[in-house]
């Protein structure tokens, strides 16, 4: 099975309105509720691809109970650890005229030392039988910035490949613990390395400890610095739509390729096709299966020489 970790889960609420106007009252035409947080998004896509998937992290309060009820309707196995504090909500307001999305993210609950210790124990137990683990998203209040580095060391001790997808100081600390993969976007990579030149920044990030670095270039696809070389993968043409969750779908594609022991070009192809199919999906954060199948043979993968 593949294990995903979401320490700062959320109940995702999407409101669709005909037009978003400041200082005005709006009539919402559609409300969508989903279990959210980057790792849960990854888990949902992996399960849709047919992988046995387990989700852990934290959930608490009435919001956490709603999240778990929604998660129970998916093939993802719930191994979330209960907290005293309530799970946060994220609200996305979609302007259906322009397609623009305005995002409002609440802070997460404060995690106590006892709750963190309980999670560490559960995480270690779940590593037994895991083929790969993904550590995704922000850290809730109360958890130290080296938490992901701590979890990476536990995964490495259990010989489980680990992917890290976070930002800021947790990324800086985590990459030094030598994860198998990291997947920063361009801004996160620039913050980590001080460079906005994609090739230089990706190679620099790899020198900091990661086995492989896959940098998200937005509509231009992915750039991967791997032990086998430098690769670039891009969709056959720019895609327009809602990019919410596209990066999480790319993570799912990378993990799917990893556990299937696919060569790097195939892993990147899956990641780019899933990411683009998520942008094209009418539901934010979900991928369009028909678009995915159509895109798979048309993703362009080239080996870079720079």
Distances from the Cα of 102 to the Cαs of 17, 242, 260, in angstroms?
Answer: 11, 11, 37
C-beta of residue 64 within 8 angstroms of C-beta of residue 25: no
pLDDT in the model for residue 284: 63
Residue 156 · residue 145 · CB < 8 Å: no
In three-state secondary structure terms, 98 is coil
Identify the helix (H) or strand (E) that includes residue 223: strand 222-226
Question: Choosing from 165, 180, 248, 288, which is the catalytic residue?
Answer: 248
* Helix (H) and strand (E) counts in the chain: 10, 15
**For residue 230, what are the CA distances in angstroms to 7, 212, 277, 303?**
31, 10, 24, 6
Give the tens place of pLDDT for each residue, 145-202: 999 999 999 999 999 999 999 999 999 999 999 999 999 998 999 999 998 888 899 9
Is residue 102 scored above 90 in pLDDT?
A: no
239-282 tens-digit pLDDT: 887 788 899 999 999 999 999 999 999 999 999 999 999 988 86
CA pair distance 64, 269, nearest whole angstrom: 35
- Tokens for 163, please give them: 């992917």
Catalytic residue flag (residue 248): yes
Asked if residues 259 and 131 have their Cβ atoms less than 8 Å apart, the reply is yes
């Amino acid at each position: 099975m593949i294990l995903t970790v979401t320490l700062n889960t959320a109940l995702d609420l999407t409101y669709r309105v005909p037009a978003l106007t400041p200082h005005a009252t709006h009539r919402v035409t559609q409300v969508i509720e989903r279990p959210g947080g980057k790792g849960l998004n990854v888990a949902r896509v992996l399960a849709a691809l047919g992988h046995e998937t387990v989700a852990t992290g934290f959930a608490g309060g009435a919001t956490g109970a709603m999240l778990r009820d929604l998660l129970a309707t998916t093939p993802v196995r719930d191994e979330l650890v209960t907290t005293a504090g309530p799970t946060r909500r994220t609200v996305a307001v979609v302007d259906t005229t322009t397609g623009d999305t305005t995002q409002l993210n609440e802070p997460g609950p404060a995690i106590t030392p006892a709750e963190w210790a309980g999670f560490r124990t559960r995480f270690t137990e779940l590593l037994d039988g895991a083929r790969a683990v993904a550590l995704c998203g922000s850290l809730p209040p109360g958890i130290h910035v080296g938490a992901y580095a701590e979890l990476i060391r536990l995964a490495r001790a259990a010989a489980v490949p680990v992917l890290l997808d976070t930002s800021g100081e947790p990324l800086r600390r985590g990459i030094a613990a030598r994860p198998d993969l990291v997947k920063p976007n361009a801004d996160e990579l620039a913050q980590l390395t001080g460079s906005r030149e994609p090739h230089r920044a990706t190679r620099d990030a790899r020198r900091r400890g990661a086995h492989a670095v896959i940098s998200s270039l937005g509509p231009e696809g992915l750039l991967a610095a791997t032990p086998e070389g430098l690769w670039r993968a891009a969709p056959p043409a720019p895609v327009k739509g809602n990019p919410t969750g596209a990066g999480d779908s790319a993570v799912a594609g990378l993990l799917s390729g990893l556990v299937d022991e696919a060569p790097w070009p195939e892993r990147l192809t899956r990641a780019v096709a899933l990411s683009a199919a998520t942008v094209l999906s009418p539901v934010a954060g979900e991928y369009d299966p028909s678009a995915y199948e159509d895109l798979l043979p048309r993703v362009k993968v080239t080996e870079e020489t720079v």
